[in-house]
Amino acid sequence: MAGTLAEKVWDAHLVRRGTDGSPDLLYIDLHLVHEVTSPQAFEGLRLAGRPVRRPDLTIATEDHNTPTLDIDLPIADLTSRTQIDTLRNNAREFGVRIHSLGDADQGIVHQVGPQLGLTMPGLTVVCGDSHTSTHGAFGALAFGIGTSEVEHVLATQTLPLAPFKTMAINVDGALPPGATSKDIILAIIAKIGTGGGQGYVLEYRGEAIRTLSMEARMTVCNMSIEAGARAGMIAPDDTTFEYLKGRPHAPEGADWDAAVEYWRTLRSDDDAVFDTEVTLHASDLEPFVTWGTNPGQGLPISATVPVPAEIADESERVAAERAIEYMGLTPGQPLREVPVDTVFMGSCTNGRIEDLRSIAKVVQGKQKADSVRVLVVPASARVRLQAEAEGLDVIFKEFGAEWRNAGCSMCLGMNPDQLAPGERAASTSNRNFEGRQGKGGRTHLVSPLVAAATAIRGTLSSVSDLDLPDDVDLTSFDGTPLAPLDPGVLVQV
């Protein structure tokens, strides 16, 4: 029978098929762990006297709580320090591998899996973090889980899961200059809504998706959860295989060949039927920004703040009124005239090396607007090292930005990187919820290119607002590729 990509991966992990309305039991290939959603799960194991069933399919890192300054000093916030110490103690007690602050592979969990070559096509990947959908960019079935489920996976390496529906999202054509994969996903969420994906696994398809780099695909899948979806996936292809080959945990030799042969079968069959299909034309897109307090409240940057009185649906009108009031905007105000106080460049959505390169290309040789503070936070320590090897850190510092250590940082403001009440940010992260980046803070979600242009002009801007030379190609990244990995220099720790 013809199947979709998601159904194929699901079926390959069936430990047992549910009967009489009970869910299927699925095997989990890779469990990523961080400090915030795991302490109560390990405590549950301890109380029940259960071990971690497969420490060799589990990996932990510290990201949500970690400071991005003074990482060699004791963590100043005592509750944060306790939570991180708890993770370290749990990792030691249960035999789980951990990459701690100061380690080159410390960083946001959704960057650490891919950079180590642990994230691969055809896997099931879970983490107690909703942005686990990121790993779907490799053709893995990857989703966020709650702490009870974290404990369940630690104890059994499986999860009971209810069946999902499938949605094909076709993005055809080519992106215009200045638009990025971030704008694709923001446009998709604006189109289908924050609840549009509920119960679905999304599969992103079409020419505009196929031509994206691996990291750009990760940005798209990352925000699947913002459309309410259980997961987002992209069928693996040569772009995927090239990204993976030679990474520390990528298969080698005959295993590599067998893996690639299997991975090439991981695509939706031509006659597969999706429960729902949605189509977008990439050529219609322009840089997107959010104006409201959920990621579906976004518009092209050339638009104006909506006028609630013109919204027919009552629930949407009330939500828009509330959002506009919270955001301190005026209905009808051009988005390009909205001044910002802070620009945050980072997160599991847009804190990767390609994002940093594209920002550097825009800001090189320029000065940030005086009124704006600019934070650049790489997704992982490895990304930071790579950026420094390419001299990007120097470009950022000369621009007037702060060059920080790796972590989730201001995306959710669990560490000291927060917005003050009323402070307005253009942020390359994924959520513009009320108070997400700090109590009373106001967030506009943007692409790295819009963030860079906004940091220069001080108001929401796209690169077309800048006086860039005509020959600057912002869609191709000519920085030195990630240092080629020689398996001979790998160390086992």
- Kind and range of the H or E element at 382? helix 381-389
Neighbours of 463 (CB within 10 A): 21
Q: Is 408 annotated in some ligand binding site?
A: yes
Positions 178 through 237 that interact with another protein (CB under 8 A) = 194-195, 198-199, 225-226, 228, 230
**For residue 450, which phi and psi values (nearest 5 degrees)?**
-65, -40
- Give the nearest distance from C-beta 268 to another protein in angstroms: 21
* Candidate ranges 205-213, 253-261, 268-276, 329-337; the one touching another protein (CB under 8 A): 253-261
Interhelix angle 78-94/39-48, nearest 10 degrees: 40
* Candidate ranges 211-219, 359-367, 470-478, 485-493; the one touching another protein (CB under 8 A): 485-493
| Cα diameter, the chain | 65
Positions 277 through 336 that interact with another protein (CB under 8 A) = 293-294, 315, 318-319, 322
Q: Which amino acid, one-letter code, is at 105? A: D
**Contact with another protein (CB under 8 A) among 2, 273, 420, 490:** 490
- Does 83 interact with another protein (rule: CB under 8 A)? yes
**Contact with another protein (CB under 8 A) among 139, 413, 448, 479:** 413
Distance CA 383, CA 364 (A): 19
**Contact with another protein (CB under 8 A) among 88, 191, 210, 249:** 249
- Does 15 interact with another protein (rule: CB under 8 A)? yes
339 contacts 371 by C-beta, under 8 angstroms = yes
- Give the nearest distance from C-beta 314 to another protein in angstroms: 10
3-state secondary structure of 330: coil
DSSP per-residue codes, 350-400: H-SHHHHHHHHHHHTT----TT-EEEE--SBHHHHHHHHHTTHHHHHHHHT
| Tokens (6 digits) for 198 | 């509920």
Of 157 and 459, nearer to another protein (C-beta) is 157
Site string for another protein, 38-77 (x = CB under 8 A): -xx--x----x-x--x-xxxxx----xx--xxxxxx---x
| Tokens (6 digits) for 376 | 């650049």
Neighbours of 73 (CB within 10 A): 8
b/e sequence 312-330, b meaning 16+ C-beta within 10 Å: eeeeebebbeebbeebebe
Of 339 and 439, nearer to another protein (C-beta) is 439
Surface-to-core class of residue 311, CB atoms within 10 Å of its CB (0-12 exposed, 13-18 middle, 19+ buried): middle
**Contact with another protein (CB under 8 A) among 3, 88, 130, 237:** 130
* Candidate ranges 139-147, 184-192, 232-240, 458-466; the one touching another protein (CB under 8 A): 139-147
Q: Is 127 annotated in some ligand binding site?
A: no
* Candidate ranges 202-210, 268-276, 350-358, 426-434; the one touching another protein (CB under 8 A): 426-434
* Candidate ranges 235-243, 265-273, 378-386, 454-462; the one touching another protein (CB under 8 A): 378-386
> Would you give the distance in Å from CA 69 to the centre of its chain?
22
- Give the nearest distance from C-beta 147 to another protein in angstroms: 4
3-state secondary structure of 228: coil
**Contact with another protein (CB under 8 A) among 403, 452, 460, 474:** 403
CA dihedral for 185, 187, 193, 194, sign (positive or negative): positive
- Give the nearest distance from C-beta 472 to another protein in angstroms: 29
**Contact with another protein (CB under 8 A) among 238, 365, 470, 492:** 492
Surface-to-core class of residue 163, CB atoms within 10 Å of its CB (0-12 exposed, 13-18 middle, 19+ buried): exposed
Surface-to-core class of residue 244, CB atoms within 10 Å of its CB (0-12 exposed, 13-18 middle, 19+ buried): buried
**Contact with another protein (CB under 8 A) among 381, 387, 395, 419:** 381
> Would you give the distance in Å from CA 143 to the centre of its chain?
12
Positions 348 through 377 that interact with another protein (CB under 8 A) = none
- Give the nearest distance from C-beta 144 to another protein in angstroms: 4
**Contact with another protein (CB under 8 A) among 114, 136, 139, 144:** 144
Positions 99 through 118 that interact with another protein (CB under 8 A) = 102-106, 116-118
Positions 442 through 461 that interact with another protein (CB under 8 A) = none
Q: Which amino acid, one-letter code, is at 420? A: A
| Tokens (6 digits) for 278 | 């949605």
Of 155 and 303, nearer to another protein (C-beta) is 155
- Give the nearest distance from C-beta 463 to another protein in angstroms: 26
**Contact with another protein (CB under 8 A) among 66, 240, 405, 447:** 405
**For residue 419, which phi and psi values (nearest 5 degrees)?**
-85, 150
Positions 146 through 165 that interact with another protein (CB under 8 A) = 146-149, 151-152, 155-158, 160, 162
DSSP per-residue codes, 96-140: -EEE-TTSTT-B-HHHHHHHTT---TT-EEEESSGGGGGGGGGT-
Of 358 and 430, nearer to another protein (C-beta) is 430
| Residue list, annotated binding site for [4Fe-4S] cluster | 348, 408, 411
